[in-house]
Amino acid sequence: MKTVLLHGWPVSERVWVRQVEVLRDAGFDVVAPLLYGRGPSIDDWAAQLLREMDGPLVPVGASMGGYCALALARRAPERVVGMVLVGSRADADSFDRRRARQETIAELAAGHRPPLADADADLQHLALAQEAMRDRLDLTGVAASFGGPLLVCVGDADELVSVDEARALADRALDGRLEVFAGAGHFVALDQPDRFDEVLLEFLSQWKT
């Protein structure tokens, strides 16, 4: 089983350096791919990742990475044996959220670098990722019918995903579980790395051989 750490926006795969080390030290096979530059849609990203990796997968998706995790489960449900969604959601963007993304795309086109982005981040790639998120499919049904264990993590200070929304996502799943991180914002793994690592290791331990 391979654990696939999928980053959010505007950070990169570098955000997972700590978790890669922790999971490898615990004996897990783990990868943290870069999602930018993989095409115009999140479904394209998922298709590429599935071609690059063999065998069963447990995607761990933070925010944008969660959308990719669900796309993996939609494309290859027989390969995705478990899933973790962190500060993420399964539904498509609302009208207001789509409009906000358009504003972000315009800011990127004007050369404004988001505060959390890497210093060498390609702003065009960040803009294309915003378009991919804006146009993503509603995968609520994928999350609800997912056959493996689904862990939903959320910070109670997350400004984009509420605890109630995260709870509803977990409750609709066949085997869902909610983990609330008190005091954490949207990027739970950055705000509370120790507890996040503990929760992630406990979840993944069911596949430990």
Q: What is the pLDDT of residues 13-56, one digit of tens each?
A: 999 999 999 999 999 999 999 999 998 999 999 999 999 999 99
Domain holding 170, by residue range, is 2-89+138-207
Helix (H, G, I), strand (E, B), or coil: what is residue 149?
coil
> Could you tell me if residue 203 is inside a domain?
yes
Residue 82 CA: distances (Å) to CA of 12, 103, 105, 152, 166: 23, 35, 33, 11, 17
> Could you tell me if residue 72 is inside a domain?
yes
Task: Write the single-letter amino acid at 141.
Answer: G
> Could you tell me if residue 194 is inside a domain?
yes
Q: What is the pLDDT of residues 159-192, one digit of tens each?
A: 999 999 999 999 999 999 999 999 999 999 999 9
Q: Is the pLDDT of residue 154 over 80?
A: yes
Confidence at residue 209, expressed as pLDDT on a 0 to 100 scale: 67
Mean pLDDT over the full length of the chain: 96
pTM over 0.85: yes
> Could you tell me if residue 113 is inside a domain?
no
Tokens, residue 152: 């939903």
* pLDDT-based confidence at residue 129 (cuts at 50, 70, 90): very high
* pLDDT-based confidence at residue 151 (cuts at 50, 70, 90): very high
Helix (H, G, I), strand (E, B), or coil: what is residue 140?
helix
Question: What CATH number does residue 194 fall under?
Answer: 3.40.50.1820
Helix residue ranges, H only, 61-94: 64-75
Query: Residue 195 and residue 51: Cα distance in Å, rounded?
Result: 33
Across the range 105-116, mean pLDDT stands at: 94
Number of domains in the chain: 1
> Could you tell me if residue 133 is inside a domain?
no
> Could you tell me if residue 97 is inside a domain?
no
> Could you tell me if residue 116 is inside a domain?
no
